[in-house]
């Protein structure tokens, strides 16, 4: 899939606008990419629960696990589904609510200067070839589009919120991903 960015939206991605975002403070420069994972309910793939969660339409009574996240309002810029489909929830020019309490290179509040990409998955479940292909293509585009972002400024959620977050987890193949970025 060939992607492009027009006015902060990824062309080639499906849009599902989330209300869970705000303006970027200061210069609004995008400098960091944060890789996450999510599955709702945990380790259940292919449904629309993630999309409904990020757009505040999840039925909290639908599954017992949802009591643990009841009322939480979060989002990410992108979700990469198991089949490689990319869904965009928040414009790249805006601040998605994906990182929470976080710190990178001595700077807190990573949401202010980052793009958050969720992979449909779980820490210990291998990610799919389609996900690596889509994630790599989107990452190359983001790095080319945002001059202050570099391949050195790509981290996992666990890197910016250690002790609080573990994603994308040990199943994520950083070497494979970084090699694909050089191709």
Preceding amide of 42 cis, omega within 30: no
Active-site option among 31, 51, 68, 118: 118
What are the CA-CA distances from residue 59 to residues 16, 75, 76, 122 (Å)? 17, 16, 19, 21
Quick one: which of 38, 43, 34 has its CA closest to 54?
Answer: 38
85 annotated active-site: no
174: tokens are 């950083």
42: tokens are 């945990």
Phi, psi angle pair for 113, to nearest 5°: -135, 20
Q: Which residues are catalytic?
A: 118
């Amino acid at each position: 899939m060939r992607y492009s960015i027009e006015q902060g939206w990824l062309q080639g991605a499906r849009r599902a606008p989330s209300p869970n975002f705000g303006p970027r403070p200061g210069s609004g420069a995008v400098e960091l990419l944060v890789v996450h994972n999510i599955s709702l309910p945990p380790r259940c793939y292919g449904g629309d629960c993630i999309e409904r969660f990020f757009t505040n339409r999840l039925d909290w009574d639908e599954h017992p696990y949802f009591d643990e996240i009841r009322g939480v309002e979060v989002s990410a810029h992108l979700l990469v589904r198991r089949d490689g489909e990319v869904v965009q929830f928040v414009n790249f020019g805006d601040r998605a609510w994906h990182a929470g309490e976080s710190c990178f290179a001595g700077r807190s509040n990573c949401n202010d200067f980052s793009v958050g990409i969720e992979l449909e998955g779980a820490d210990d479940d291998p990610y799919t070839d389609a996900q690596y292909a889509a994630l790599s293509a989107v990452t190359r585009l983001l790095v080319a589009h945002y001059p202050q972002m570099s391949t050195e400024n790509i981290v996992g959620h666990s890197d910016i919120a250690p002790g609080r977050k573990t994603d994308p987890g040990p199943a994520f193949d950083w070497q494979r991903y970084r090699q694909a970025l050089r191709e």
